[in-house]
């Protein structure tokens, strides 16, 4: 065994690799993206297929296809991505799998970089399969490795649920050797099993329901969920990462509480019954919904147990956000009817902002100039969602929804409807929304902010970039041609850095009827590696009009009645483009 200091996501990648992974599919999304990045790195010596797919549904269907050939595959996504993949996921549990199929879903309690905090464990109940929830980074690796074997044993895809702090935390992890190739199986036709027409689906559901008893017995044998005995009458149920918080609290407070560690769903019924019978009161800690807590209420009823239960349902633990050691301590104070004292301190607020020189700043400036403040801006998921601070994003629902919502709004609103979407998101779910808008003749402007990457999640490639997950050259899907072939007559491409030119070009299609598409094409300032400080202010020419500040660039400021350009300048030139007095000058020595 070798010891490595790893991120939780990297440990998952090593676990998949050790477990004999042969193909991996994913759509980037925080906090899950590093799993695929690490797989690309560690699989260089092995013949493992790794793909950034166009969206999570396509990812899942690819991985499922690989599984039917007998190979071990995985599909990786963030929690909201499971909504996109849920259609094939639920039905694939009906058909079952051949090679081990593992779904890793990274939840985001506190919604650090997401539009909601949904608990992916709910999908375990809906799909009727098994969900693992690691309690540490080492266990993440161990479970990822084991999950292929277990998936094949029960003949079903299995889930692994991670959470942000587990995905992005670091610790030493013991790494082992990769398992040898499992099978040369190959796909064998079996329409009654794999073709879910209604008559086959009814049989498959009956089989799946009967399999639940087998799953219960198998989960009981697993080592991951366990009962740690103690002497206190108050027992603690700790799910996933909360087990680490509970252990630290118990050791610090020198408590001898019985602990039931939950890392598998369904809960192991017999082990849990023994735990429940050993205590009078129970405190349940879990991030997300009261999934384990609800199961405990059910088992208490079945076995006629009278334990008092403290958790989310009776407001003893928080229903939103993340847990921590402090939160565990606070709950025990609440149970005792006391209030914990806090020592408060304040830190400066640091809201997320777009980078200095970000081409989206130019795009937003142009759109406000052309369409005015009364225009409606249905938005989408990406860096550009930060345009909400600049009053150029009015909605954000889910991937691809900006175009569809804009179509709906355009039927009842008099003002211009200007939908905004990124290039990666457009490939994800924007294309069907565009086709629908064209087919149903919406009167709408659609703006694709094409920065040549999936920037927000770490600059992963997509079909418009011409490279794949392993940075190899592949086919580049040209947006303008694709959009024209979707039936759009008015599609133009502009450079958001060339503000005046872009404004004139957009004015040319602004008042036309139907669907108009504007592609704002300029590479992300981070990947383009812009040079530092190429511009300065000529104070003799600067009139203090502050027009340059309206572009909202981080590098611009105002002091003593004059504009200033700071060290954050990436040399994009957008400010020079809008200054009416030519007071912003390129520094030829540094440019």
Contact 376, 394 (CB under 8 A): yes
409: nearest Cα among 439, 375, 384: 375
- What's the half-sphere exposure (Cβ side, CA atoms, 13 Å) at 577? 20
- What's the half-sphere exposure (Cβ side, CA atoms, 13 Å) at 360? 31
**Nearest-angstrom CA–CA distance, 410 and 260:** 54
Distance of CA 515 to the CA centre of its chain: 30
**Nearest-angstrom CA–CA distance, 388 and 360:** 12
**Nearest-angstrom CA–CA distance, 572 and 582:** 16
State residue 254's pLDDT score.
82
Alpha-carbon torsion 288, 292, 298, 301, what sign? negative
Contact 418, 377 (CB under 8 A): yes
Angle of helix 8-18 versus helix 137-154 axis, rounded to 10: 40
State residue 589's pLDDT score.
66
* Largest Cα span, the chain: 85
Count the Cβ atoms, other than its own, within 10 Å of residue 582: 10
Q: Which residues are within 8 A (CB) of 23 and not within 5 positions of it... i.e. 6 or more apart?
A: 48, 49, 50, 51, 62, 63, 66, 71, 72, 73, 74
Beta bridge pairs of residue 282: 235, 309
Torsion region of 372: left, alpha or beta (phi above 0 gives left; psi -120 to 50 gives alpha): left
275: nearest Cα among 218, 226, 240, 311: 226
Beta bridge pairs of residue 378: 395
State residue 477's pLDDT score.
97
Residues in the chain where the model's pLDDT stays below 50: none
Q: Kindly write down the DSSP assignment for every residue of 2-29, as one continuous string.
A: EEEEEEHHHHHHHHHHHTT--EEEE---
State residue 530's pLDDT score.
56
CA angle 517, 522, 527 (to 5 degrees): 140
Cite the beta strand spans of 23-132 per DSSP E: 23-26, 49-52, 73-78, 101-107, 131-132
CA distances from 518 to 56, 57, 157, 324, 550 (A): 26, 27, 42, 46, 22
Whether the bond between 31 and the residue before it is cis, its omega within 30 degrees of 0, is yes
**Nearest-angstrom CA–CA distance, 586 and 175:** 53
At 558, list the tokens.
């105002």
State residue 532's pLDDT score.
62
pLDDT tens-digit series, residues 233-272: 999 999 999 999 999 999 988 888 999 999 999 999 999 9
State residue 165's pLDDT score.
96
Contact 490, 446 (CB under 8 A): no
Strand 562-565, strand 584-586: pairing: unpaired
State residue 5's pLDDT score.
97
CA distances from 290 to 270, 316, 422 (A): 20, 12, 35
CA angle 486, 377, 440 (to 5 degrees): 35
At 461, list the tokens.
């490639």
């Amino acid at each position: 065994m070798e010891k490595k200091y790893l991120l939780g996501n990297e440990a998952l990648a090593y676990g998949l690799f050790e477990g004999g992974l042969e193909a991996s599919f994913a759509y980037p999304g925080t906090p899950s993206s590093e799993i695929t990045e690490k797989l690309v790195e560690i699989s260089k010596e092995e013949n493992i297929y790794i793909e950034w797919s166009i969206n999570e549904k396509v990812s899942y269907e690819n991985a499922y296809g690989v599984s039917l050939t007998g190979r071990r595959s995985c599909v990786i996504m963030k929690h909201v991505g499971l909504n996109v993949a849920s259609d094939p996921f639920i039905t694939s549990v009906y058909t079952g799998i051949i090679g081990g199929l593992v779904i890793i879903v990274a939840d985001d309690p506190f919604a650090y970089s997401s539009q909601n905090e949904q608990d992916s464990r709910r999908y375990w109940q809906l799909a009727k399969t098994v969900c693992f929830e690691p309690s540490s980074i080492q266990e993440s690796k161990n479970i990822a490795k084991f999950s292929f074997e277990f998936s094949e044993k029960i003949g079903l895809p299995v889930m692994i649920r991670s959470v942000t702090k587990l995905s992005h935390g670091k610790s030493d992890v013991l790494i082992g050797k990769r398992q040898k190739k499992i099978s040369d199986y190959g796909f064998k036709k079996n329409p009654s099993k794999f073709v879910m027409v209604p008559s086959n689906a009814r049989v498959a559901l009956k089989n799946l329901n009967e399999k639940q008893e087998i799953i219960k017995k198998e989960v009981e044998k697993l080592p991951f969920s366990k009962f740690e005995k103690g002497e206190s009458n108050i027992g603690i149920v700790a799910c996933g990462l909360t087990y680490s918080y509970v252990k630290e609290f118990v050791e610090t407070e020198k408590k001898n509480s019985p602990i039931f560690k939950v890392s598998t769903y369904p809960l192991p019924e017999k082990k849990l019954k023994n735990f429940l019978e050993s205590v009078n009161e129970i405190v349940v800690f879990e991030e997300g919904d009261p999934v384990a807590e609800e199961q405990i209420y059910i088992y208490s009823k079945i076995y006629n147990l009278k334990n008092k239960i403290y958790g989310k349902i009776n407001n003893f633990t928080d229903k939103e956000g993340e847990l921590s050691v402090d939160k565990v301590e606070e709950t025990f104070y609440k149970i005792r009817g006391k209030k914990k004292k806090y020592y408060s301190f304040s830190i400066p607020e640091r809201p997320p902002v777009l980078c200095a020189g970000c081409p989206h700043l130019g795009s937003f400036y142009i759109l406000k100039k052309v369409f005015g403040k009364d225009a409606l801006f249905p938005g989408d998921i990406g860096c550009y969602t930060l345009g909400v601070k600049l009053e150029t994003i009015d909605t954000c629902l889910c991937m691809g929804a900006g175009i569809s919502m804009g179509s709906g709004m355009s039927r009842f609103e008099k003002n211009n409807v200007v939908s905004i979407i990124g290039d990666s998101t457009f490939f994800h779910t924007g294309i069907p929304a565009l086709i629908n808008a064209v087919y149903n003749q919406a009167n709408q402007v659609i703006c694709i902010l094409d920065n040549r990457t999936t920037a927000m999640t770490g600059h992963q490639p997509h079909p418009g970039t011409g490279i794949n997950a392993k940075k190899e050259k592949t086919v580049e899907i040209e947006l303008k041609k694709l959009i024209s072939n979707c039936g759009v007559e008015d599609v133009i491409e502009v450079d958001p850095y060339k503000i005046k030119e872009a404004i004139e070009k957009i004015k040319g299609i602004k008042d036309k009827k139907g669907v108009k598409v504007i592609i704002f094409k300029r590479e992300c300032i981070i990947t383009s590696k812009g040079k530092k400080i190429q511009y300065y202010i000529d104070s003799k020419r600067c009139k203090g009009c502050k027009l340059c500040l309206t572009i909202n660039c981080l590098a611009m400021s105002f002091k003593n009645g004059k504009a200033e350009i700071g060290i954050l300048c990436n040399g994009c030139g957008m400010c020079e483009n809008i200054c009416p007095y030519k007071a912003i000058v390129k520094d030829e020595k540094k440019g």
